[in-house]
Amino acid sequence: MKIGSIKENLEIEKRVAVTPEIIKKYKSLDLNIVLPKGYGEHLGISDQQFINEGVEILDNNENVLSQANLLLQMNLISEENFKKLKNEQILIGVLNPYSNNEKIKRLLDNKINCFSLELLPRITRAQSMDILSSQANLAGYKAVVDSFAYYQKAIPMMMTAAGTIPAARVLVVGAGVAGLQAIATAKRMGAIVYATDVRLASKEQVESLGGKFLIVEGAENLETEGGYAKEASEEFKQKQENLLKETLKKTDIIICTALIPGKKAPLIIKKDMIEVMQSGSVIYDLAASQGGNSELTKVNEIIDHNGIKIMGDSNILNKLPNSASNLYAKNMFNFVSNLYDKENKKININLEDEIIEKTLIK
């Protein structure tokens, strides 16, 4: 049984699905790893490091595709590689079936088994495989660090003989994994932190991190059974808008993290709300690639609107590829381990297992 991974398109994705640290765990299951030459060079990981752990290095991506029974990727492979796959091969990654529906249908027609890890159920047993949580954690941290770099004032309150510098005020929109990490990071750096979320269960988590939760009057709990946010009513959106507009007059930095799985990101920070903010303020929109929570967000651009900087990367984790790859590789191993029948040394697509059933694209 061979596990393989080919190079991603480095222009859009610097993370990898296999790192040297995880090879021993695959070896303990009697699984062999094949990778193409230069697989991790862009991260400072040499082929020799992989070889030292027992990886077989092949000449190119095509050789890996022809030998691997199971292919581990970050994103959906390119269409030119589709025809190089074999019947019953298994492809695992963040395949984004909502926007790649037609491409994935072609793979299924060719009898390729596709597992998309962003479809993992929110259950205790799946936590070690939860790529959305591990990656969102880093994204929330990095969004705060980048925002603070563009904010041209000190973050914590500073008392000096010449006078006092007030602490920066940060608003985190969306208190999921990325939002909670953003709150924790901003708080550690001395900011006064506020947060808002449509899920009332987030209030306790926000307050446990030292943040202040903004509650919309008459709010209902907009949380799905899977623990994700669902779309709010127009009445709720209007009340939220009124509350935020007042809050933004005194806010220095906004971190936007609100997403709805499979849908365009909710528009929360509108242009007229941005215009009440003070010049020098910063908005970092982690939802940029799905349309953005801010009306003025443009992907991979820094917009200056009346002195307010608005930014959002298509993939912020390209700025932390080593850390993100290490976590992703561990998530991936845990998923493969659950899929692998250790006794019979084969892959077992057991549809009675909720994790396998939910992630297999049919």
Catalytic residues: 122, 127, 130, 133, 228
Contact (CB, 8 A) for 242 and 215: no
Distance CA 242, CA 222 (A): 19
Handedness of CA 25, 26, 32, 38 (dihedral sign): negative
Terminus-to-terminus CA distance in the chain, angstroms?
A: 24
The token duo for 83 is 């025809």
Instruction: For residue 118, give the amino acid letter.
Output: E
The token duo for 192 is 């006064």
Burial state string for 233-246 with b = 16 or more CB within 10 A and e = fewer than 16? eeebbebbbebbbe
Distance CA 290, CA 158 (A): 38
Distance CA 253, CA 167 (A): 11
Contact (CB, 8 A) for 85 and 330: no
Q: How long a stretch of residues is the chain? A: 362
Distance CA 21, CA 18 (A): 8
For 282-336, the DSSP string reads: EEEETTGGGT-SBTT--TT-EEEETTEEEE--S-GGGGSHHHHHHHHHHHHHHHH
Neighbouring C-alpha atoms within 13 Å toward the C-beta of 301: 8
Distance CA 229, CA 261 (A): 8
- β-strand pairing of 192-196 with 169-173: parallel
DSSP state for residue 22 in the 8-state scheme: G
Residues in contact with 153: Cβ distance below 8 Å, sequence separation at least 6, in sequence order: 165, 168, 252, 280
